[in-house]
Amino acid sequence: MSSGSATSGAGRVIAGRYLLLHRLGSGGMGHVWLAHDQRLACEVALKEIVFRDPAEARHEREARVARARAEARHAAGLRGHPHVVTVHDVLEHEGLPWIVMEYVTGAVDLRELVARRGPLAPAECARVGLAVLDALTAGHERGVMHRDVKPANILLAPDRTGAPHGRVLLTDYGISVQPDAGETRYTKASVLVGTAGYLAPERASGGSPTPAADLFSLGCTLYFGVEGRSPFERESHVAALTAVVMEEPRPPVRAGALEPVLRGLLAKDPDLRMTAPEAEAALSGLVASRSEAYERTRTDPGSPSPWEAGAGPGGLVPVVAASGARRRRRSSALRAVAACGLGLALALGGVWYALGDRADGEAVTPYGDAVGLGKPLAEGDCVLADWPGGSRFAGTPRLTLDPTCRDKAPDGQVLGFVGAASVAEARTLGPARCEERTRELRDRLADVRGHAVVPSGAGFEAAGRRTACLVLGAHGPLYGPLGERRRFGTPFADTATMQKRDCLDVRSNREVRLVPCGGRYDEQVLGFTRLGADVTLAEARTSSDAACARDVAPRDYGFDPSVYEAGSWTSEGPWKSGTHVVVCTVRRQNGGTMEGTEP
């Protein structure tokens, strides 16, 4: 890993105060670390400037450093805003600036959330949009344009009520600008600043940054949130930019009542584009309609800081490509539903209620007739879900068990339970608690959703006074045991149950086994990426390595690019479901084995 300092890494102390614990992520400006403030005894996030290329360090150093300072200044100007990540300080260490920021415990960005669980419900997407609009408007009133509104720059974190994603935060002011202040722009005039597919057409054509341009990017982001992809998603950055300028967005299919807002924000002509007050009114109406019975209150700004199977359908097919193929004034507009824990879990977590009470003497089903189970679920149970009408996550599914966890390609597994003192408590708190109970595992898998099976009124005692917490495939089966229930040495039936940081023993092009990372292994799973909807499985076999090298680069995880390279695996399941998820790994360039704590 080449960065601002050759000794940069976990365990290092920055400015005599901040102990680096581990890397949280990477972006265009550098790495973000979780660090311990030894003076105040608390955790913070530190952004580090990274120069991967010596030539860039020589020629772009001054501009990159100045941009970091500008980011800190702009974000600090919005300090205290409930929907902006707080910047505490910017400091110099070994000649480079480090930005000290609030560490948001349990946060996940919108891009990751949609990738893992599927698109948001329109009302929930509207709630997120209101929060981001509030943050943007606060910046616009100070003359600061964000210029890079996109799903990856929107964080969702637990709030004080325990709702898993109740807190919404806009982050990364790294390319923001304050044009009316005579501020220097630290980018070349010929270089487009922003993200292809989210850049306003007037910006893509060379125009100046304006509040209207940020609103267009917000429209693209909300489209992604409710549809699962960008309205201008194309096979390349150039094609995406061309589509932004020349083509209309793809017609949304899931947006429902949110569609008029998307249409208004995505108007090509900024003079005809929906304004911030108009967007605020429309989004507020959507949030209010979600539950008219509840009093609307402002979103809580606070948050605590602190696979066994034989060959599955189609088999597992490795994909190996040749090297190189690769707003602060607001009245009551921004308010969420009061019962946020319940409402949010309904929208994001996926939950079904079986409320059918039974007459005395009749057999009681723990979760009601719709679910249909005659006895309570047990931890580790693999389940098959029969969805009404065949549409996944629509309505109440009828559940059956697969005792072997493999014979019928199960849809998911029971990963735990949360107890309750009453039926009312189970119904109101169970879903949110299940979200927390399964969060760690869901974070390690590519395409899953959390679900809660809540006891029926009559079946509360029969269910053991517990809500069952499931993890299901978001778009298809999961094929076998999940998480720690997998046994070392057994082959993966499908890539769906490969987890981040799994170590793999590659036996052949169609057989890969899970092995302990303490010994020798051939590859390690780093993360996931997705290929375009038009990419066939056969084409993926020659392009996935390059996609992983681009999107999940091993060097961003500390692997020396002169020694290690990106690898990838896929199987028929993600292509049958249309998700096109690829598992990205790291391996040695010479084909040798890896061992222990590499790097």
Is 591 exposed, middle or buried (CB count within 10 Å of its CB: 0-12, 13-18, 19+)? Answer: exposed
Instruction: Return the structure tokens found at 148.
Output: 């890079």
Spatial separation of the C-alpha atoms in residues 574 and 476, rounded to whole Å: 8
Q: Is 268 annotated as a binding residue?
A: no
Spatial separation of the C-alpha atoms in residues 240 and 254, rounded to whole Å: 22
- Answer with the residue of higher pLDDT: 87 or 549: 549
- Does 332 fall in a domain? no
247, 278, 306 - which closes a domain? 306
Q: Using alpha carbons, select from 592, 113, 134, 559 the residue that is nearest to residue 347.
A: 113
**Given the DSSP bridges, would you call strands 448-454 and 351-353 parallel, antiparallel or unpaired?**
parallel
Spatial separation of the C-alpha atoms in residues 533 and 513, rounded to whole Å: 29
pTM score: 0.49
Q: Strand order in 13-14's β-sheet?
A: 13-14, 18-26, 30-37, 42-49, 96-102, 87-93
Q: Give phi and psi for 257, each to the nearest 5.
A: -65, -10
Same domain, 120 and 210: yes
Highest mean pLDDT among 282-291, 325-334, 560-569 belongs to 560-569
Same domain, 19 and 154: no
CATH number for the domain harbouring residue 268: 1.10.510.10
Other CB atoms within 10 A of residue 422 CB: 10
Residue 39 has pLDDT above 70, yes or no: yes
What is the 8-class DSSP label of residue 411?
S
- Does 559 fall in a domain? yes
Same domain, 412 and 555: no
Instruction: Return the structure tokens found at 473.
Output: 């495939």
Is 291 exposed, middle or buried (CB count within 10 Å of its CB: 0-12, 13-18, 19+)? Answer: middle
Same domain, 168 and 119: yes
102, 125, 147 - which closes a domain? 102
Q: Which domain holds residue 420?
A: 350-473
Per residue in 264-285, pLDDT (tens digit) is: 999 999 999 999 999 999 999 8
Same domain, 463 and 493: no
Q: Using alpha carbons, select from 484, 364, 353 the residue that is nearest to residue 416.
A: 484
Per residue in 256-265, pLDDT (tens digit) is: 889 999 999 9
Which range, of 306-310, 414-418, 478-482, averages the lowest pLDDT? 306-310
155 φψ region: left (φ > 0), alpha (ψ -120 to 50), beta (else): beta
* DSSP characters over 554-587: GGGGT--TTTEEEEEEEEHHHHHHT--EEEEEEE
Same domain, 79 and 158: no
- Does 221 fall in a domain? yes
Per residue in 519-553, pLDDT (tens digit) is: 899 999 999 999 988 999 999 988 999 999 988 88
Q: Give phi and psi for 41, each to the nearest 5.
A: 55, 50
Same domain, 96 and 154: no
SS3 151: helix
CATH number for the domain harbouring residue 44: 3.30.200.20
Partners of 571 in beta bridges: 316
Same domain, 80 and 165: no
- Answer with the residue of higher pLDDT: 341 or 451: 451
Up-side HSE of residue 195: CA atoms within 13 Å toward CB? 22
Same domain, 498 and 431: no
Q: Which residues are catalytic?
A: 148
**Confidence category of residue 307, pLDDT binned at 50, 70, 90:** very low
SS3 168: strand
Q: What is the mean pLDDT of the chain?
A: 78
Per residue in 561-578, pLDDT (tens digit) is: 899 999 999 998 899 888
Cβ-contact 482, 387 below 8 angstroms:
no
**What's the domain count of the chain?**
4
Q: Using alpha carbons, select from 231, 224, 255 the residue that is nearest to residue 122.
A: 255
- Does 510 fall in a domain? yes
- Does 168 fall in a domain? yes
Q: Is the dihedral of CA 444, 429, 283, 158 positive or negative?
A: negative
Per residue in 392-403, pLDDT (tens digit) is: 777 778 999 988
Per residue in 93-128, pLDDT (tens digit) is: 887 778 888 888 888 999 989 988 889 989 899 999
Same domain, 88 and 132: no
* Residue 335 confidence (pLDDT): 34
- Does 251 fall in a domain? yes
- Answer with the residue of higher pLDDT: 414 or 485: 414
- Does 317 fall in a domain? no
- Does 502 fall in a domain? yes
Full 3-state SS string of 459-521: CCCCCCCEEEEEEEECCCCCCCCCHHHCCCCCECCCHHHCCCCCEEEEEECCEEEEECCCCEE
Q: What b/e string do you get for 116-139 counting C-beta neighbours within 10 Å, with b at 16 or more? A: bbbbbbbbbbbbbbbbbbbbbbbb
280, 306, 332 - which closes a domain? 306
Spatial separation of the C-alpha atoms in residues 556 and 100, rounded to whole Å: 20
Same domain, 583 and 447: no
Same domain, 193 and 97: no
